């Protein structure tokens, strides 16, 4: 049977109907283009809870994408199963000649796509994949020695020097939308219950509309970003990380705007987008980082283990460390699925440097709760904080949770929001409440050790243990 020159676009981390590389290429090359998404059981089975905000965000974003594609004459074909089997099966059923997708850089995704491409090839179907979620990928930027960058600053310089208007140009969809094909009947979106999940509280607007709302709001605040980004009680950041993760916004649009703005805020935010790509290329070129330290010798570090370490880890997870800023950060994460970037550094440093617990345990906890979870960024951030990664903070640089609190939440607004048992304490005592006199604790209705835990570790002593763990002497911390 001859094939109609039709194509299939497989959506993954690119849930939008505009500025979409794979969709644009497919529409320009084929007269009929189907669109599909797979709820991949290989991914869903790994989620530790049947209540996950990411599924809620994903479903809401897919509903909007499906409606947008239908308004253009197409729509989403949705499957629930192993993507390695579902995509070839669907491509064969639709009798398409080519399957289009955008690159994914995680080790499991690279292996999955290789399997899908091989199966399609055996079926006589072409696999085509494109760069879409980053400006520069994999080995596009190399050192003078021809190797992937392992240090951020020279990578950022190379990134900015290489950038040309074509790198942030839009991949057009609307002019070719007439080639979209309507999905067959019975291919609509499932409910959470049909996927085996329950509803979860989602506080972030989802989908393309949600991303656009946040981006429009942030553009007005972008000039102030450099001055406001480190203060969790201030509306200083973009809140676009989950939208970048799921591709409901276009990174090209964001980078194009930031690069064109002649102000310090935009330049600083663009550097954050470059950090994101630095970690993406790092993981793509060194897939072992998923479980190993970037510096191989540091896998031999002796982390704290045993019942005491497990109890400390549980206290950290639950926001019961006795350090208000750390506890507020942990509670924000569990309650909302979000943690401010400054607090991610503070929290990760506390677990790995104050408690001496393996960074991989903290990385897994963040992976469980973060709405914007991205393996490359999460892994890179944790290894940076633990001083096991490339371009890591110096091993002797250990975040002091009290001075960080005083510096970045000086009035305690963030702490009072997430640690309400401390709300009545005077501002001067909020960052180290155990130092408040017992009579003053009683007067404030918060007795340390009863209403709020005493510190589970002494920072100065913990710092000394970390220096010993790394086998060197240090300099004063922050």
Which residues carry out catalysis? 272, 275, 303, 341, 359, 382
**106: nearest Cα among 349, 261, 273, 285:** 285
116-146 exposure pattern, b = at least 16 Cβ within 10 A, e = fewer: bbebbeeeebebebbbbbbbbbeebbeeeee
Q: How far apart are CA 36 and CA 211, in angstroms?
A: 21
Q: How far apart are CA 399 and CA 420, in angstroms?
A: 24
Other C-beta atoms within 10 Å of 46: how many?
Answer: 10
SS3 373: coil
Q: How far apart are CA 106 and CA 235, in angstroms?
A: 31
Q: How far apart are CA 64 and CA 58, in angstroms?
A: 10
Q: What residues contact 340, with CB distance under 8 A and at least 6 apart?
A: 232, 237, 329, 332
Structure tokens at 361: 């345990």
Helices (H) and strands (E) in the chain, counts: 21, 5
Place of tokens 């021809």: 146
Name the E strands within 88-182: 98-102, 126-130
**Which class for 388: exposed (0-12), middle (13-18), buried (19 or more C-beta within 10 A)?**
buried
Q: Which long-range contacts (CB under 8 A, 24 or more apart) does 171-174 make?
A: 171/19, 171/20, 171/21, 171/23, 171/24, 171/25, 171/132, 171/252, 172/19, 172/24, 173/17, 173/18, 173/19, 173/20, 173/23, 173/24, 173/27, 174/18, 174/72
Separation of CA 394 from chain center: 24
Q: How far apart are CA 37 and CA 133, in angstroms?
A: 17
């Amino acid at each position: 049977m001859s094939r109609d020159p039709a194509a299939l676009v497989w959506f993954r981390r690119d849930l939008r109907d505009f500025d979409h590389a794979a969709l644009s290429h497919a529409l320009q090359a084929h007269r009929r283009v189907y669109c599909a998404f797979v709820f991949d059981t290989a991914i869903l089975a790994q989620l530790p809870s049947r209540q996950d905000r990411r599924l809620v965000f994903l479903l809401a974003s897919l509903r909007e994408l499906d409606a947008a594609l239908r308004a253009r004459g197409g729509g989403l074909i949705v499957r629930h199963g192993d993507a390695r089997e579902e995509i070839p099966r669907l491509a064969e059923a639709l009798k398409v000649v080519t399957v289009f997708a955008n690159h994914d850089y995680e080790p499991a995704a690279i292996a999955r796509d290789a399997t899908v491409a091989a199966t399609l090839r055996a079926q006589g179907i072409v696999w085509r994949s494109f760069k879409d979620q980053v400006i520069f990928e994999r080995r596009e930027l190399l050192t003078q020695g021809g190797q992937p960058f392992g240090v951020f600053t020279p990578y950022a310089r190379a990134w900015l020097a290489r950038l040309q208007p074509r790198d942030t140009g839009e991949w057009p969809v609307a002019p070719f939308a007439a080639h979209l094909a309507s999905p067959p009947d019975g291919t609509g979106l499932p409910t959470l219950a049909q996927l085996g999940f329950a509803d979860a509280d989602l506080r972030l607007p989802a989908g393309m509309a949600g991303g656009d709302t946040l981006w429009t709001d942030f553009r007005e605040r972008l000039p102030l970003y450099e001055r406001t980004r480190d203060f969790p009680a201030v509306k200083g950041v973009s809140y676009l990380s989950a939208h970048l993760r799921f591709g409901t916004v276009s990174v090209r649009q964001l980078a194009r705007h930031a690069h064109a703005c002649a102000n310090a805020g935009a330049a600083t935010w663009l550097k954050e987008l470059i950090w994101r790509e630095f970690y993406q290329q790092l993981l793509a070129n060194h897939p072992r980082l998923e479980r190993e330290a970037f510096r191989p010798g540091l896998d031999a570090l002796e982390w704290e283990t045993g019942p005491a370490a497990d109890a400390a880890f549980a206290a950290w997870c639950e926001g019961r460390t006795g350090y208000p800023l750390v506890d507020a950060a942990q509670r924000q994460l569990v309650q909302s699925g979000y943690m401010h970037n400054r607090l991610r550094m503070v929290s990760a440093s506390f677990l790995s440097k104050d408690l001496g617990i393996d960074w991989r345990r903290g990385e897994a906890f963040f992976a469980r709760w973060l709405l914007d979870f991205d393996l490359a960024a999460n892994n890179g951030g944790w290894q940076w904080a633990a001083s096991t990664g490339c371009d890591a903070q110096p091993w002797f640089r250990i975040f002091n949770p009290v001075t960080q609190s005083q510096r970045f939440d000086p009035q305690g607004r963030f702490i009072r929001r997430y640690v309400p048992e401390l709300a009545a304490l005077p501002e001067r005592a909020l960052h180290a409440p155990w130092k408040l006199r017992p009579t003053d604790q009683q007067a404030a209705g918060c007795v340390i050790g009863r209403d709020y835990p005493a510190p589970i570790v002494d920072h100065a002593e913990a710092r000394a243990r970390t220096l010993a763990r790394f086998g060197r002497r240090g300099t004063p911390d922050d």
